[in-house]
Structures are given as C-alpha cells and as structure tokens.
Amino acid sequence: MRLRRIGMIVTVLMAGSLLVVPPPAAGSAGVLTRIVPAPAAEPARPTLGERTVLRGRLSTARRTALLQQRRSNRWRTVARDVTGARGRYRFWVTASRAPLRVVAPRHAGRGLPRAKTRAFRLAVRRQVVAIAARRVVARGRAVTASATTRPRRPGRRLTLVATDARGPRLRFALRAGARGVARTTVRFPRSGRWLLRVRAHRHRGAAARSASRRVRVVPRPRPAVIAHRGGASASPENTVPAIAGALASGVDAIEADVRRSADGVLILAHDETFARTTNVAVVFPARASAPVGSFTWEEIRRLRATGPRAGRAVVRIASLEDLFRTTSRSAVRMVLDIKRPDLYPRIEHQVVSAARRHGLVDAGAHDRVRFDSFDWAAARRLRAASPDAEVGLLSRHAPPTDLRPYAWADVWAVHARFVTSSLVARARRVGSTVDVWTVNDRAAALRFADLGVGGIITDEPATVLRLVR
C-alpha cells in the first residue's frame, strides 16, 4: 500500500515536470527560443513610406507571430502571420522610423513560452524628388526640365505641371528611366513667373512626393524700356535728377517733352502751363495759367519743379541742352516728344538741328535720338527735311487700318488701350515698329512684351526692366 502511494506521487511529479522543464539549448532540433533575432528587411534600406517585407524565422512551425510598432508609448500590433513548416514568417510593413518588434505569444497548450525580438528600427532612407530647370528662360524657346527620384525607381510615373497667374496649366506625363531621371521639353507661351511642380506618384509602395521650382520667362526679343518724361519714378518729371535716375536704372531710352521759351530756348515741359509741375503760382501769381511759351528762360530758371516726388532739394526745369549733357557719357537713346508745333513754328527743325550739333543724328542706323509728335503733318515735314532722322507718330487712338500711307514713319507710339497683335503685325508689314505708352503694371508690361512691341514707355522703368531682362 505504501509502495503504491509512493508510485502515484512519483507519477504525478513526473507529469507536472513536463510543464516546467526549460527548453533545450539553442541549436538542437525543435528549439524553443525566448529571443527571436531581428528580421531582415527587403529592400535592405527602404524609402520612407515604401512598402517593404520583413522576413524572419522562429524555431517552431505553425506558431503565431505578431509584428508590433511603438505608438504613443505603447506597443500595438500592426500585422499577424503564422509560421510555416520551417518556422518562417513574413510581414508587409510601411517603412518608417518608428520602433518595431516581433512577438510570439505564449502557447500554453503546446508548452511554448512567449518569445520576442528586441526593439529595432528599419534603416530607412528619405525619399527625394528634385526638379532641375534654368532659372531664367526665353519665351518660346525649348527648355529641358528634368525630375530626379532618389532612391532610383525606374518606371516611376511623374507629372510635371507648369502654371502662371494668367492662363491654363501646362501638364506633362513623365516616366523615370533607369537612373531615376525623367526629362521633358517645355515651351512657355507667355512671359512672367512660372511655377514648375513635379509629382512622383505612388510606386511599388513608395509614397507620393512632390517638388517645385520657380522660373522667370522673359520675352525674346525683349522690348526697349523707355523712361517716361525723363524718368519720373523718383524725381520731378523732365528734370536733370529724373534723367540721372533713369540712367542709373539702366534704361534703354529716355523720353522727354520739348517746348520752347519766349526767347527761343528749347526746354523740357509736358503741360501747356507750369501750374501742375512748378511753383509758378508762388513766383508769378498773376501768370499761373500763362502758356509755357510766354516765359523767358531766365524766368523759367526761377521756378522750382514740384510734384508728388519732389523732395526738399531745389530742382529746376531742364533745357534740351541739359538733357544732352546729362546723357553725353552714356549710350542711352532719347525719344523727344515735340509738343504743339502749331504753337512753336518750326520747332521740329530747331530740335533736329540741336541734336545734330551734338552728333546724335547720323545717316544710317546709329541715331541716338528719335523725334515723335502727335502732329503727324509736322512729323511728315520733319521727315521731308531730314530723311536720315528717325521719326515716330504718337497716337491717343487706334491708328488707321491701312498703314501703307504712313510707311515713311519708323515707329508708331500708341496708347496702351489700342495696342493689339494685329497692329503690331500691320506695322511690321510696312517696316515700322510699335511702342506702347504708358505702361506701369507688371502684367500689362509682360503682355505687351509678348505681343512683340519694340518699346515700352513707363513711369516705372526699374520695375519693367526686372521683368523683361
């Protein structure tokens, strides 16, 4: 009886020992490892956001394996797999920098302890998409734009979109080559600032990425930038400081208005009177509304130029000789608007003679002076008397449909409201060009440049120069 009890105790102890016996040493058949090695990722260094596979092996077959990710200081299960006959598992995961681990839960029924890897991170690379194109390009010329994806993903689809503020988008579908580079040719239909944006679509699990680059499109051939009224952007109009400021900004030409004093001196003045541009009401109260031609040069020199841009310095009205002297050391051209030839008889011939004395009018194509007028009859007389002088016709309205009777004019200087592509084409057919006045808006300046005008007359020459250069 006693022996039977001892045998029963031994049997129970042996049966219980099966639940607590530690697993055999690693390396033997049917090993039960408590620490599972970190799995290998394919590709070895995936791109952030790319779908990649993690492969590993447990020592037992047909066992549940969990992939966990550290989120908000907690381990959360993100994938589940069951090992095959050889104990292998596989997880698909989106590559990120978050900590990961693999866990095999305890299997009480089979006597399997809990097993897990140490926490690890994927060796990820940041995905890069870059776009390359010239910063400044010419309108209408073919420009190569290239987009590069890193790491290289041959066959990846990309979309290049070019936009500006004035019209529909240009869209190009691209595909990356063997080196991860996609190229296309772009022709910009308008001048201005364009935004190039390339988008790399999702590819083999890699997330979509985008990049952008700004391009400035300039007109070719670019129009001449002409400073209106001597360059009135920073100083009173038709004065020496205004002319000097225009020269410093790098303008192509300076436009000035020419009238004549009572004693025959050619002066720079736009209006019929001095009321708006000077302090004539203070110096000569009784003559505030008197015509410009009623003042002598000595009286004009007593006046001070005024206006919204007049500072504290005393600025005098300039003469045509002052304009010639100020520009003598530069190659800038001059556009002289001869005002009211009917009030100043033969003023057009006097202006041409003054320019000749300074060597500014030469037979051929090297004139530095152009003579404009709203009086087309006076301009025709000037052309007949000086065939080698460059002559322009000023117009506040739309020029005639048929420009052939005016083929003798070199330039049409037309108000901005009436400058169209049709006018530019008609002028070219008779051998003339078109200048537009007065353009201070950036969008308008670019629009006229794209029409192919020969010159833009503006109060803001520095701004227009930055746009078209």
Q: Give Cβ neighbours of residue 280 (< 8 Å, ≥ 6 apart).
A: 273, 274, 287, 288, 290, 303
Q: What is the CATH number of the domain that holds 92?
A: 2.60.40
Q: What is the pLDDT of residues 429-438, one digit of tens each?
A: 999 999 999 9
Residue 13 pLDDT exceeds 50: no
Of 15 and 243, the structure prediction assigns the larger pLDDT to 243
Same domain, 153 and 181: yes
Kindly report the pTM of this predicted structure.
Answer: 0.68
Is 302 inside a domain boundary? yes
Same domain, 99 and 140: no
Q: Give Cβ neighbours of residue 15 (< 8 Å, ≥ 6 apart).
A: none
| Single residue among 116, 143, 170 that ends a domain in this structure | 116
Same domain, 261 and 148: no
Same domain, 342 and 263: yes
Phi, psi for residue 383 in degrees, rounded to 5: -65, -40
Rounded CA gap, 305 and 313, in Å?
10
Cis status, amide bond into 151, omega within 30 of 0: yes
Is residue 76 very low, low, confident or very high in pLDDT (cuts 50, 70, 90)?
very high
Is 17 inside a domain boundary? no
Is 10 inside a domain boundary? no
- For residue 413, what are the domain limits? 224-468
Is 133 inside a domain boundary? yes
Rounded CA gap, 125 and 378, in Å?
76
Q: What is the pLDDT of residues 203-243, one digit of tens each?
A: 776 778 899 999 988 888 889 999 999 877 778 999 999 99
Residues paired with residue 214 on neighbouring β-strands, in sequence order: 195
| Single residue among 96, 116, 136 that ends a domain in this structure | 116
